[in-house]
Structure 1
Amino acid sequence: MTGISAIDGGLSYHTRTLRQGPLADHFQQLFPLRTLHEVDFATIPCLLVPCRTNGARLAAHRARLMHYVEKGGFLVVMGETRPDLFLDDVGFRTIATNYWWWLEPDADLGVRISAPDHPLFDRLSEADLAWHVHGTLALGSMWVTETLARYDGEDGGPIVVDARLGSGRALLTTLDPIYHHGSGFMPATTRFLEGFLPWLAQTVDDRLSGCINLDNGQATPKSRPKGN
């Protein structure tokens, strides 16, 4: 078990990833989307929004999700969720998806790692990020952002962003590995999750073990969240 909780949208690929197989061991708690209004976010070290969760339904929780991040939570938002609907100052642009790029001569989707020194890329390579690109992100000035990976094709832009707000953190991506892994196709998506989820679990565990909250750049003691 880890400190990672996830919203369960109840779709087949959510079930196969979050509840079945070895990847399920990375999740401490699963919250059905329909019961999210009952969840006390303050008790959750890390909340993951899986691929293709209905962003329009999450819009009702926009204020709570923003408060969660600002007060020290770690929110992870996967692709095809429309984060612009449920997070402030987040833009999303849909782009034409090239499903057949791998059949082209010298095939190159155009995904590029922008921050090779970020610890996530001790576990992932560019090949582990390359299957499809559905859109790009644009976070506004209220966030302190680092672009971890981008799409360099036509209409390119950030596709993985590590962002800070208040004492919390949000990692957003337009990639949709849970959908593909849970649907049983695209081996790169399984490799992505096999690297990403252990990194996320270690990151959350390190944060809990240190019990540190960064407030205006200063390290100050932080109480361990309830239930951990």
Structure 2
Amino acid sequence: MSTPATTIAFLHGGSHAQLATLADPALAPYRIHGIHVRTGAIAELADAEVIVVSDRLRTDLLRPWAGPIGAALDRGATVLVFGENAVGTWLPGVREESRPTVFWWWRTGEDHRLRLRAPEHPAWEFFAPRAVVWHYHGVLEPPAGAVSLVDLHTENGDRDGSILYLDESSTAGRLLVTTMDPVYHHGSGFMPGATQLLYSTLYWATAGRRKPC
């Protein structure tokens, strides 16, 4: 038997959804260490093996953490960056453009225009389609070498950009970036797939770092 013994830092802004996520009993075994972006100390990231950048943080408060997050990647940490965090303004090598959010396509019958990519990538052992197809807040153009797992297409069928990508080549670490906002929806208690994405990303991030009991 094994248990997650990874040091996980969770950057948050104290919103109701973020605090509810931190209090989720299902996540207790991960022993997540919450760090407030306003009052937390940069040194708290020093030993983190996994850093979660919660969605919907104030960009002016998040930007000072960009350098330490980059340093963590350079030393081999895994970083998860969730949506609506203006990553194009502080995350090197990525461009972001906003897109209208399609909230209830499964009720209206509207095509969500999301397409799964890189089917042979080992990350798909951790992510079910339900976890990565619900809604989004923009498209990303990741740096060279990154792998998009989910793309958004235009109504004409052309690729518009990525909404979930993995970068395992730019640094010694692993970087997962998405424009989906699972912490907000999990903590708020609505949106099919959000909880599954949150749980799946944490499981993926810690899978290779688990230590025997």
Q: Is the 8 A contact 2:101 2:137 kept in 1?
A: yes
User: What is the deviation of 1:40?
Assistant: 4.3
* Counterpart Cα distance in 2 of 1:135 and 1:9: 21
Given the alignment of the two structures, is residue 119 of structure 1 paired with residue 122 of structure 2, yes or no? yes
1:73 aligns with 2:77: yes
For residue 136 of structure 1, report the CA deviation from its aligned partner.
0.9
Residue 170, structure 1, aligned to residue 175, structure 2: yes
Q: Which runs of 4+ in 1 moved over 4 A?
A: none
Match of 1:130 among 115, 133, 137: 133
What displacement does 1:41 show?
2.8
**Shift in CA distance, 194/43, structure 1 to aligned 2, threshold 3 Å:** closer
SS of 2:208 mapped into structure 1: helix
More divergent stretch after superposition (9-18 vs 47-56): 47-56
Q: Percent identity?
A: 28
1:31 aligned to which of 32, 35, 59: 35
Distance 1:204-1:9 versus aligned 2 partners, 3 A rule: farther
**Amino acid in structure 2 at the alignment position of 1:162:** L
Q: Where do 5+ consecutive residues of structure 2 fail to align?
A: none
CA spacing shift, 1:203–1:51, aligned 2, 3 Å: farther
Shift of the alpha carbon at 1:39?
Answer: 2.2
Deviation of residue 159 (structure 1)? 0.9
Gaps of 5+ in 1: 210-228
- Distance in 1, Cα, partners of 2:196 & 2:57: 21
TM-score of the pair, normalised by structure 2:
0.84
Higher helix share: 1
Please provide the CA RMSD for this pair.
2.2
Once the two structures are superposed, the pairs formed by residues 1-228 of structure 1 within 5 Å of their partners are 1-3=4-6, 4-105=8-109, 107-141=110-144, 144-154=145-155, 156-163=160-167, 164-205=169-210
Number of residue pairs aligned between Structure 1 and Structure 2: 204
